[in-house]
Structure 1
Amino acid sequence: MDVDQGIINWYKRRAVHQEIFHLLENVACTGHAVAQFHLAKCYRNGRGAEQDHAKAVEIYRNLADGGIPQAQVALGCCYESGEGVDQDYGTTIEWYSKAADQGSEDGRLHILGESYYYGYGVTQDHIKAIEWYRKSAEQGNRYGQKYLGYCYQYGWGVDADIDTAVFWYRKSAKQGNKDAIDKLKSLGKWP
């Protein structure tokens, strides 16, 4: 593909993202929670609109306060990374815990696996992190599968084993996890 075609494709994708953003914005105004969640994601990632972490946090917080587990996990991620709010691991764990208390596997993964891996609110322990990543992965959680793949690829808490890493990346990729797909591509294992 030549440079001009690449630029044209970029503008086309940008126009599609902007159209999606405006459609989400219109539906979100009616109080539709799923549209609001995806609108927040657009603000967080700068897709279809200028990146605005504070606006994303505002929307996530309204949804999280309403008991939506996906928004609670997303809000926890914002506190974990300091996007749109001051970084605060205590608040991070609080939001992940609320999601986990409602049965959210993503919330459990973050509160347990991530917390142990990075030492957020607990003593850092890669072995315990692997245990939680494995439990999550074996229950079909695409994020647990991806994180377990990372651990095996890089030897974090386990012996490095590229074949096992590819196994878990493939499971995650089959569920549409872009990070896992990118890892497989970088390893020359995709499709």
Structure 2
Amino acid sequence: MEHVIRRVRAEEWDRARDLRLAALQDPLAPIAFYESYEQAAAHPDSFWQERTSTAAAGEDVVQFVAEAPGGRWDGTVSVLVEHKGESRIGKPAPVEQTHVVGVFVRAEARGSGLAEALFRTALEWSWGLQSPPVERVRLLFHSDNVRAAALYRKVGFVPSGDTAPVPDDEMALEYEVRR
């Protein structure tokens, strides 16, 4: 693979925004993300600058991007730190953990191993946290997102047995998987 996977930099907020908007135009976006393209496109530049700056600092959230040799960003993954008792997404964390979110690989880069490489980087970052150390890594995915479920199995995540209602669609479920 020729991509370089690295942390996003604060000054790259416009590229981070553009990649997020591309992700939200994917046909599976309605079941993969909690935000629509229209909602994201309406955010002012200051929102994207703050979001990217926070992810670049990498304290309680970090974003990794996959950069092709020509400079194009072909994928991304973010990781949220969830401290014991804290609730960022879903119920409060029973242990120190991280939560993988915002996984996206452009259609033309799928099948190349890029998603797996993004996950390896996210997992290495998670397991490298020392203060306090992480006991597990988790993520949630919509019950209808078969493509995501296959990827998560492929990179070693296993079902926890926990489910949660999908925000704004209480008839649908999200499944939790862990490592």
Structure 1 or 2: more helix by fraction: 1
Structure-2-length-normalised TM-score: 0.31
Q: Which has the higher contact order (CA 8 A, sep 6+)?
A: 2
Structure whose residues are more often strand by fraction: 2
